[in-house]
Structure 1
Amino acid sequence: MSHDPNCIFCKIVAGQIPSKKAYEDEYLLAFHDINPWAPVHLLIIPKLHIASMADLHDGHAELLGRMGVLAPKLMRELGVSNGFRTVINTGPDGGQEVYHLHMHVMGGPRPWLKG
């Protein structure tokens, strides 16, 4: 699989940087965000280095589908039952900070939003 030796997420995939894993298979890795925006905040990344969503092509359709199917499965397993949010930031204007395709999946009760 393609990887970028300077990419922090590629280093996480390679086990060079520790993470709190939620899921791993031959294609994807999901781990807990170190700066969560919600009680449950995961990042789902392909093990293949793809810099951003703008770099996807038809051959990546199955990989992106796997990411989309994994998100609700992990939220259910982690006890999120009242909905969740998925976000893929793309490029500088899209707020992307790490240039390795990743999906944020955020859920859980957020009491500061009430009242």
Structure 2
Amino acid sequence: MVTEDFYCDQVLSGKTVVDRVRETENVLAYHHTKPFYPLHIVVIPKKHIPSLLHLEKKDDTLLLEMMGVIREVASQVQDEHGACKVITNMGDYQDSKHLHWHIVSGQPLQS
């Protein structure tokens, strides 16, 4: 399991260039760098938050902004592809300890 924070260390720092889908002052949505689905978009807060379980009351505005971006991107994906899933992972399922959501469409790719 990866213990670093890929999103802070690589994406938000600019070390890894990403194909941006949508960006606000506090949220970034981009195409996954190593997709597990034919269409695989990741949505992250620009502030480090380890997971959904670590959100605090003071993060409510950020969470609403994130959900707005997720809703907008998921709506576009559904319109273009007919369906999508919105997923977040926690605990051992979460490789990078930075809150993130996956918006995916299609059958999982074979590894």
Same fold, TM-score > 0.5, yes or no = yes
Contact 1:23–1:29 at 8 Å: present in 2 too?
A: yes
Contact 2:74–2:86 at 8 Å: present in 1 too?
A: no
Q: Which has the higher contact order (CA 8 A, sep 6+)?
A: 2
**1:80 is paired with a residue of what secondary structure?**
helix
Larger Rg: 1
TM-score of the pair, normalised by structure 1: 0.76
Q: Which runs of 4+ in 1 moved over 6 A?
A: none
Whole-angstrom CA distance in 1 between matches of 2:59 and 2:80: 28
Alpha-carbon displacement from aligned partner over 1:36-68 (angstroms, at most 9, x marks no partner): 232221100000011111211111122222222
Of stretches 83-92 and 96-105 in structure 1, the one that deviates more from structure 2 is: 83-92
Whole-angstrom CA distance in 2 between matches of 1:99 and 1:27: 18
Whole-angstrom CA distance in 2 between matches of 1:90 and 1:76: 24
The residue number in structure 1 matching 2:86 is 86
Q: How many residue pairs align between the two structures? A: 103
**2:43 is paired with a residue of what secondary structure?**
strand
Whole-angstrom CA distance in 2 between matches of 1:103 and 1:90: 11
Amino acid at match of 1:100: H
- RMSD of Structure 2 on Structure 1 (CA): 2.1
TM-score of the pair, normalised by structure 2: 0.78
Unaligned runs of 5+ in 2: none
Aligned counterpart for 1:98 among listed residues 96, 99, 107: 96
